Amino acid sequence: MNRIKLSSWILWTGLTLVLPLSLGAQTNCDEGAGPLRQVQPNGISSGEIIKKLSAQEKLFQEEQTHYTYAMEVSIQTLEGQIADGEFRRVSQISYAQGKRLENVLFAPQSTLVRITLTKEDFDDIDHRPPFVLTPEELPQYDVAYVGQQKVDQLETYVFEVTPKHMEKGRRYFQGKMWVETTDLAVVKSCGKNVPEQVEPVKKKKHRPVQPNVSPTFVTYREQFEDKYWFPTYVRADETLHLFNGDTCHVREVIKYTKYKRADSNASTISNATPK
């Protein structure tokens, strides 16, 4: 059976970022999707879907540690349609004994002025997308089935994910997941990292520290080797409301490309994301 990759879907979505008339300042989680059908799954319960997708997530997470890949990060602030500041970083990611290693290949001086990237921001970039709902993470969330939806050429089950409790110092995902109906694998997720710190932190003898405000991220995955769904494209395009009443249009794009098994000389996934 031929599997469907999301190449055309990702390319179409990415190209909207360079078309001025298509640029909004609010990430649309349903972009590229058909109408939501509030119907129950046929032949399987929502609880069984959650259990199976969670097992798949653990498998994909473990398999990803056997690959190297390129990771390109771009964070821009915009005035109208013109970028007035940018942070860029291109890295090669590999794993040793399951530990993530990053070799930074390109990192020009950041020109961001209107926002500051904090430790929490870099943690979110490097470790939060994509959201992975493993069996270990599952008890921390309420996962509610909301219906079925066609995304590009894929039929999917849609789930809303909400953290049950939020421990101090930890970050959680809050949003939606789209699960392919045949493989029962997550192919798309959209939401934000919570909790947000919406008020400035005052420290003695220092100016207030800018709070952390998280945009909404949409994450796309591609299937390859007919079995693994790995992330290939993450984006956020949103106007953030800062604590002092200011707003800032921020666009963030993360690309994962050139997946290759660590013991192979051949790339296993094509670079289908836009340049």
What pLDDT, in 10s, does the model give residues 169-212? 888 999 999 999 999 999 999 999 888 764 444 444 444 445 56
Most confident of 14-18, 23-27, 142-146, 189-193: 142-146
Select the more confidently predicted residue: 49 or 98: 49
Q: Does the pLDDT at position 130 exceed 80?
A: no
Task: Report the alpha-carbon distance of residue 52 to residue 169 in Å, rounded.
Answer: 30
Q: Which amino acid is at 136?
A: E
Select the more confidently predicted residue: 59 or 16: 59
Most confident of 20-24, 124-128, 214-218: 214-218
Q: Which amino acid is at 225?
A: E
Query: Would you state the pLDDT for residue 182?
Result: 94
